[in-house]
Amino acid sequence: MPLRLRIIGLGIGLLALVVAGCGSSSSSSSSNTSTASTAKSAVAVDLGTTKAGKVLVGPNGRAVYLFEKDKGTTSECSGACAKTWPPLTTSAKPTAGTGVTASMLGITKRADGTEQVTYNGHPLYYFEGDKKSGTIAGQGLDAFGAEWYVVGATGSKVEKGEAKSGSKDSSSSSSDSGGSSSGGSSSGGSSSGGSSY
């Protein structure tokens, strides 16, 4: 009888240790999860090559655009617009890649509370039609009340690379300043810019 009681007592003791062990590992893993979810992650803005020359790109290598309807750093793109033109968001101060001026990078708060990356005061957006890096299918499009343009390292819109200017003309010059001075072709190209890709 005493042996049987010892075995039962030992079994209960082991069970208590297993339950206590599971409880402590569970609480430590949940504290690790909460730490990971509150960690801030910054996005990097870099320069990428497109037919419009070197333009700003997000961390995935896809071009980012400015929206001419935006007033200063306030975004005028939400709802259906933000589905077609997803904002480049961050949860920490964005970082500058080679050729990007760190002091021009900033953050603006959107109406939904998310933080959007800005460059030279322009909120930045992706275009859902750009499926891979190097493409600028949204260049010069007139959508949701204004035109959309990729952004050069200087912080200005780049107007070349639209459908009317053709890929031969736009690929022969890749400087950002050349792109901002070719504004004469923007009005004609903007209406057909979406069909070039």
Q: Write out pLDDT tens, residues 106-153.
A: 999 999 999 999 999 999 999 999 999 999 999 999 999 999 999 999
Quick one: which H or E segment has residue 3?
helix 2-38
What's the whole-number mean pLDDT along residues 46-70? 97
Q: Flag whether the pTM goes above 0.95.
A: no
| Residue 89 scores a pLDDT above 70 | yes
Amino acid 184: pLDDT: 35
What is d(CA 32, CA 20) in angstroms, rounded to the nearest whole number?
A: 18
What's the whole-number mean pLDDT along residues 52-80? 97
